[in-house]
Amino acid sequence: MTSEVTAPEQVALRAKLAELMQEHRDLDTAIQALIGSHDMLQLTRLKKRKLQLKDQITKIQAQLLPDIIA
């Protein structure tokens, strides 16, 4: 059921992937900065957002590199 991604779609997906990966790295830095603080609510929110980004990254990577049937 998976259709191939066209070249323009691939360009857009790669741009979105780069954007999401940068945000993921930025959140990692922010989380590290908050680890010593007592703001557990903010820390939890950042970690949750980071997990959401990871899911989106994985989904886009799967679209760009579809499974190869051996």
Domain boundaries, the chain: 7-61
Would you place residue 67 in the very low, low, confident or very high pLDDT band (cuts 50, 70, 90)? low
Q: Which two tokens stand for residue 48?
A: 């949750």
Name the maximum alpha-carbon separation found in the chain. 51
pLDDT in the model for residue 3: 64
Report the predicted TM-score, pTM, of the whole model to 2 decimal places: 0.83
Taking residues 59-68, report their average pLDDT. 84
Condensed to tens digits (0 to 9), the pLDDT of residues 5-61 reads 888 999 999 999 999 999 999 999 999 999 888 899 999 999 999 999 999 999 999
CA atoms within 13 A on the CB side of 61: 10
pLDDT in the model for residue 69: 63
